[in-house]
């Protein structure tokens, strides 16, 4: 391994650690916010801010998008919004650590559900990692 590859690997590992810290603390922060606001209000602000940011960043792409693509994106956004509302409501009734653990289980269940629904065998790295 040369010095450039080692440096890149080190930066990638630091980025993963930072991402895990941000993801982990987001459960605690969300739990604290939900003591003062409803899940719908909090997530409306969250999705509204994200929509504004992405709308500004990708305005050119949005202008060139077909109406069908806009509808599909809106449907996916609605599904995500409903899922996060359900998560937020659940977070009111349980500890942030439990919510994080349950949320993290999607890594385990995704290959199993894919196999059950589509008969797609999980790859070896899915079983190990």
**pLDDT tens figures, 36-46:** 999 999 999 99
| Whether residue 71 is found in the same domain as residue 102 | no
| Whether residue 86 is found in the same domain as residue 116 | no
Query: Global pTM?
Result: 0.75
| Whether residue 84 is found in the same domain as residue 103 | no
Residue 129 has pLDDT above 70, yes or no: no
Domain count of the chain? 2
Cα gap 82→34, rounded to integer Å: 16
| Whether residue 116 is found in the same domain as residue 55 | no
Q: Taking a C-beta distance cutoff of 8 angstroms, is the pair 43, 85 a contact?
A: yes
- Domain encompassing residue 43: 3-93
| Whether residue 81 is found in the same domain as residue 103 | no
Average pLDDT over residues 40-64: 95
């Amino acid at each position: 391994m040369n010095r450039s590859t080692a440096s890149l690997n080190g930066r990638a590992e630091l980025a993963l650690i930072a991402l895990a810290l941000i993801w982990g603390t987001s459960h605690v922060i969300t739990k604290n916010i939900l003591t003062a606001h409803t899940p719908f209000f909090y997530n409306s602000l969250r999705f509204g801010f994200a929509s504004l940011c992405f709308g500004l960043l990708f305005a050119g792409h949005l202008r060139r998008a077909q109406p069908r693509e806009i509808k599909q994106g809106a449907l996916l956004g609605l599904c995500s919004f409903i899922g996060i509302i359900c998560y937020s409501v659940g977070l009111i009734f349980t500890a942030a650590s439990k919510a994080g653990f349950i949320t993290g289980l999607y890594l385990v269940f995704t290959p199993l559900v894919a196999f059950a629904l589509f008969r797609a065998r999980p790859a070896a790295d899915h079983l190990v990692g």
